[in-house]
Amino acid sequence: MRPTAERLLACGSEESFLAALDTELCRTEGLARLVAMMRELDGEALTAALADFSARTDESVDASVLVTTEELRDELRHGFEDAAKLARLLVGPTDSEFVRQTQALSQYDPQQLAAAGIAELGGPRLSPQDRRVGLAVLRSTGAMFVLAVAADTGRTMPLWMAELAVRLWRQGHEQLLAHYEHRSAPALREERSTPIASLLFSFVWLEPDALADILTREPATLPLLREIATNLPKFFGGSIDHLRLRPNLHTDGARDELAVDVCVTADAQGAPEALERFDEAWWFDAARASNIEIVVDLRRV
Amino acid sequence: MFDWMTFHGLAVELATREDVAAHRSAVSRAYYAAFHAALTHAERRGASLPKVEKHAALWQWFDPPPPIPGRTRLETRIGKNGRRLRASASVSKQLAESMQLAQSLLVDLDELGGMPRPR
pLDDT tens per residue, range A93-115: 566 777 777 777 778 888 888 89
Instruction: Check pLDDT > 60 for residue A5.
Output: yes
At residue A140, the 3 state secondary structure works out as: helix
Residue A14 has pLDDT above 50, yes or no: yes
Residue B116 has pLDDT above 60, yes or no: no
The Cα A192–Cα A189 span in angstroms is 9
Q: Are residues A27 and A157 in the same domain?
A: yes
The pLDDT assigned to B119 comes to 46
Number of independent structural domains in chain B: 1
* B76 closest CB neighbour out of A248, A284, A298: A284
Report pLDDT for A87. Answer: 80
Quote the CA–CA distance of A175 and A183 in Å, as a whole number. 10
Residue B119 lies in a domain: no
Predicted complex ipTM exceeds 0.90: no
Same domain, A69 and A172: yes
A118 and A66 co-located in one domain: yes
Residue A193 lies in a domain: no
Domain annotation covers residue A61: yes
Q: Which residue has the higher pLDDT, A279 or A44?
A: A279
Chain A nearest-CA distance from B50, in A, is 12
Q: How many structural domains is chain A composed of?
A: 2
- Examine residue B24 and state whether it is found in any structural domain, yes or no: yes
Give the domain-ending residue among A165, A180, A195. A180
Tell me the mean pLDDT in the region B44-68: 89
User: How many Å apart are CA A151 and CA A147, to the nearest integer?
Assistant: 6
**Residue A197: pLDDT band by 50, 70, 90 thresholds?**
very high
Size (chain B), residues = 119
B33, B118 contact by CB (below 8 A): yes
Question: Is A104 touching B (CB cutoff 8 A)?
Answer: no
pLDDT tier at B70 (50, 70, 90 boundaries)?
confident
Supply the pLDDT for residue B63. 93
Give percent above pLDDT 70 in chain B.
Answer: 89
Q: How many angstroms separate the CA atoms of A35 and A31, rounded?
A: 6
Strand segments (E) across chain A: 204-205, 240-247, 257-264, 293-300
Rounded mean pLDDT of chain A? Answer: 85
Within a domain: B12? yes
Q: Is residue B85 part of a domain?
A: yes
**Residue A143 in this model has a pLDDT that exceeds 70:** yes
Confidence of residue A294 (pLDDT cuts 50, 70, 90): very high
Chain A residues near residue B84 by CB distance under 8 angstroms = 295, 297
Residue A47 lies in a domain: yes
Range of the domain at B71: 5-113
Domain assignment of residue A153, given as a range: 2-180
Residues A218 and A273 in one domain: yes
Q: For residues A128-141, give the mean pLDDT.
A: 92
Weakest-pLDDT range from A65-69, B43-47, B111-115: A65-69
**B16-32: b or e for each residue (b if 16 or more CB lie within 10 Å)?**
eeeeeeebbbbbbbbbb
Instruction: CATH number of the domain at A248, please.
Output: 3.30.70
Q: Which of A272, A291, A295 sits opposite B97 (nearest CB)?
A: A272
pLDDT above 90 (res A296): yes
Position A167 confidence tier, pLDDT thresholds 50, 70, 90: very high
Rounded Cα gap, residues A218 and A237, in angstroms: 30
Quick one: pLDDT at residue A206?
A: 94
Q: Is B118 inside a domain boundary? A: no
Higher-pLDDT residue of A63, B55:
B55
- Give the mean pLDDT of chain B: 86
SS (H, E, C) B1-51: CCCCHHHHHHHHHHHCCCCHHHHHHHHHHHHHHHHHHHHHHHHHCCCCCCC
Domain boundary among A162, A180, A198: A180
The sign of the CA dihedral A163, A165, A168, A169 is negative
Segment 84-113 of chain B within 8 Å of chain A by CB = 84, 87-88, 91, 93-94, 97, 100-101
On whether both A48 and A132 belong to a single domain, the answer is: yes
This prediction has a pTM of 0.86
Q: Are B95 and B75 in contact (CB under 8 A)?
A: no
